[in-house]
Amino acid sequence: MTRQLAVAAPSRTVVALGVAGAGLGTAVSWLDLYLLSSARDQCVVGMTAFENSGMLVFSVQPVLWAVNFLAFTLLYAGLFPLFLNGDTAGARFAGVVACVLLTAVLVAASVWISMAVWSPEQVAPGCAGGHPPWWPAWAEL
């Protein structure tokens, strides 16, 4: 006689949140890549646009996508259901606020880290401090 292991299927909420997190992680990686490409186009000295694009597409983009995809998928599918299962409406509202704040922190951290790690080594004269003029002064790289 063999015993069968009964495994509960994940709830639809967890799957839906995981898909939403994966989509948001992909979107954030494209935002990071766009900002990084713009910064490198304005600030890099001694590298052609073809070399810069090749480096970004083949070395930076896969790393950005993998990290953001995993981080947002785990955050949405693993942590958010814990916040959203409150007993009262106030607890659920607090859970939604916590989810929104965690998402904002993760997006901001992803953009800042990608700009800090892959910022240009040799900067153009118009890029004081190694960052483009549109980068906020309070978020030093």
132 found inside a domain: no
Q: Is there a domain that residue 5 lies in?
A: no
Task: Report pLDDT for 17.
Answer: 79
Structural domain contains residue 135: no
State the average pLDDT over residues 77-83.
Answer: 78
pLDDT of 124 reads: 66
Residues 6+ positions from 113 with CB-CB distance below 8 Å: none
Distance, in Å, from the CA atom of 36 to the CA atom of 43, rounded to the nearest integer, reads 10
Beta bridge partners of 115: none
**Close Cβ partners of 9 (under 8 Å, ≥ 6 residues apart):** none
1 inside domain: no
Whether 134 maps to a domain, the answer reads no
Ramachandran quadrant class, 25 (left: phi over 0; alpha: psi -120 to 50; beta: rest): alpha
What is the percentage of the chain residues whose pLDDT exceeds 70? 79
